[in-house]
Chain A
Amino acid sequence: MMRGRLLFAILLAGSGAVSVPGCAHVRAYEREYLQDPIMSLEADAREEKANLHWIEAREGSTGGAGAAGGGCACN
């Protein structure tokens, strides 16, 4: 339990660090590769949500963000 809390705190700090401003700024004209569909984190998020229901029915910690049915038959 203690190890879990420590790991959670490290990840919390790591996630916060993502939003800290860095020295280098990526300019608009340098974003060609970042805007390629194969780099899109958003497209992945939509697909993850669609796949969540059948994985949720097989694992104890996936999902839980509400809705997505919940039907008892596929448990």
Chain B
Amino acid sequence: MRVQLIRFLLPILALLVFASRVHAEIEEQQASYVFQMFTDSDAVHVMANSGVYGAGFTPNTRLDVHWKHEVVVVPGIDAVPGTSEAVDAITAASRPISGANAGFQEFSKARNEVEGSLRYKTFTGGYYVSSEEDYFAQQLSANATHTFFKDVALSAGASYGWDSIEPLADDDGNTGNSKKTTTHMNVIATRAFTPTTEVQGGLELTDVEGLQHNPYRNVYVAGSRVPERHPESRLRRDAFFKVSQYLMNRSSARLTYKFYNDDWGVTSHMVIAQLNQYVSDPIAVRYRYRYYTQGAADFYRDEYTEANGVGGYQTGDYRLSSFSAHLLGARLSWGLGRPFGWRMLEGLQFSLEYERYFNTHNFSANMLESGLSFTF
């Protein structure tokens, strides 16, 4: 735990030292704070506080630092101890349960993340670190953008992440300490098509190696309880296309389509339709609808009848089954302008957002977000 804390604090200290040395040369600064609250039909609650600080030192150099602190609270199992209902709930639990009554008590844990990125001209490099009790993740990333033919911005990015997983004590879990690495590459082209139309297309490729199942979850296979097991290698690829159109009543419409598939057999389609509208000068509203549908992984079964699962793999994760999901939401953002002629409040902006998510597994969730940003 102490080693994790040191590894977490070191990059923050390095960024603070860097920021203090160049403080005198700062041209423009931005700071924002966001509070998010998430609650779902399984009574899981997530509360997150996050912030971003960005500073431009010269027209060519910019530093951004992002932090986030979130707390997840999972309710205790609502069933009489010893009943088959309680046993099933403990078997399928995605949280650690150690001790006779632990499963019937609330479980909570906190996660902290910090991300720093430094841009010089068209090159950006970044480092990310996330720490929680049983999971420590780090990532290095790089990105370069170049403009061709005056209208086309081509961006290429890559990242490498390495995670360390140390499961907490769990009575029916048998996964030891594990690793996971993620290598990601993307190419994105953005083009101004007309004075009111912009289009973007991109390709992404991700290779994930290492532990990819939940170390706490068990599955019924041919009548016996066995630990969940997923393949240790997954190659994911997707392609997306976006078009953004300015409408002459001070609004814009955007359509996004994304196609995804991977070598576990999951194929998905996602469509987002979005409308942005200025209500008055400082107030803008955004409406968003998202439709998502996916097919099941090759080794997913509602019930496993063979002792070996499917090719040695078995999962209790509904995310690998076939389902569809809808998301509806609205966001209001309000720039203060200069109330009472106060120039110092000119860069202040508030935002409020609500989103409702539901899928064909009778799962639903609500997300509320409020934000405050300041440019100075």
Interface residues of A (CB under 8 A from B): 1, 4, 7-8, 11-12, 14-19, 21-22, 24-26, 30-34, 36-39, 41, 44, 50, 54-55, 58-62, 64-75
Inter-subunit contact B195/A33 (CB<8 Å): yes
Given contact pairs A14-B201, A24-B194, A72 touches B134 in the complex (Cβ within 8 A): yes
- Min C-beta distance of A12 to chain B, whole Å: 6
Closest to B162 in A: A66
Q: Which residues of B contact A50 (CB under 8 A)?
A: 34, 50
Q: Which residues of A contact B192 (CB under 8 A)?
A: 26, 31, 34
Q: Which residues of A contact B301 (CB under 8 A)?
A: none
Stretch at the interface among B8-16, B21-29, B107-115, B302-310: B107-115
Q: Which residues of B contact A67 (CB under 8 A)?
A: 113, 128, 130, 137-139, 159, 161, 163, 182
Q: How far is the CA of A54 from the CA of B357 in the complex (A)?
A: 11
Closest to B335 in A: A37
Inter-subunit contact A61/B182 (CB<8 Å): no
Binding site secondary structure of chain A? loop
Closest to A3 in B: B267
22 A-B pairs whose Cβ atoms sit less than 8 Å apart in the complex: A8-B259, A14-B201, A15-B189, A15-B241, A32-B195, A33-B196, A41-B242, A54-B367, A59-B292, A60-B320, A61-B266, A61-B267, A64-B206, A64-B234, A66-B160, A66-B183, A68-B130, A70-B137, A71-B111, A73-B95, A73-B107, A73-B109
The number of A-B residue pairs with CB atoms under 8 Å apart is 202
Q: How far is the CA of A41 from the CA of B242 in the complex (A)?
A: 9
Inter-subunit contact A71/B294 (CB<8 Å): no
Interface residues of B (CB under 8 A from A): 34, 38, 44, 46, 50, 72, 74, 94-96, 107-109, 111, 113, 128, 130, 132, 134-135, 137-139, 148-152, 154, 159-161, 163, 165, 167, 180, 182-184, 186-187, 189-196, 198-204, 206, 208, 214-217, 234, 236-242, 244, 246, 251-252, 254, 259-262, 265-268, 276-278, 284, 286, 292, 294, 297, 317, 319-321, 325, 357, 359, 363, 365, 367
Q: How far is the CA of A21 from the CA of B193 in the complex (A)?
A: 10
Residue among A11, A14, A24, A38 having the largest count of chain B Cβ atoms under 10 Å? A38
Select which of B113, B187, B319 is within 8 A of A59 by beta carbon.
Answer: B319
Binding site secondary structure of chain B? strand
Q: How far is the CA of A47 from the CA of B359 in the complex (A)?
A: 22
Q: Which residues of B contact A38 (CB under 8 A)?
A: 246, 251-252, 276-278, 284, 286
Q: Which residues of A contact B359 (CB under 8 A)?
A: 58
Given contact pairs A58-B357, A61-B268, A74-B46, A22 touches B151 in the complex (Cβ within 8 A): yes
Q: How far is the CA of A8 from the CA of B268 in the complex (A)?
A: 11
Closest 4 interchain pairs by CB? A66-B161, A15-B201, A66-B182, A11-B239
Q: How far is the CA of A68 from the CA of B46 in the complex (A)?
A: 15
Inter-subunit contact B160/A71 (CB<8 Å): no
Q: How far is the CA of A70 from the CA of B150 in the complex (A)?
A: 40
Given contact pairs A11-B239, A50-B34, A58-B325, A39 touches B130 in the complex (Cβ within 8 A): no
Closest to B188 in A: A15
- Min C-beta distance of A24 to chain B, whole Å: 7
Q: How far is the CA of A46 from the CA of B145 in the complex (A)?
A: 16
Given contact pairs A34-B192, A39-B252, A69 touches B132 in the complex (Cβ within 8 A): yes
Inter-subunit contact A60/B194 (CB<8 Å): no
- Min C-beta distance of A43 to chain B, whole Å: 10
Inter-subunit contact A60/B184 (CB<8 Å): no
Q: How far is the CA of A32 from the CA of B282 in the complex (A)?
A: 18
Inter-subunit contact A12/B203 (CB<8 Å): yes
Q: How far is the CA of A49 from the CA of B85 in the complex (A)?
A: 38
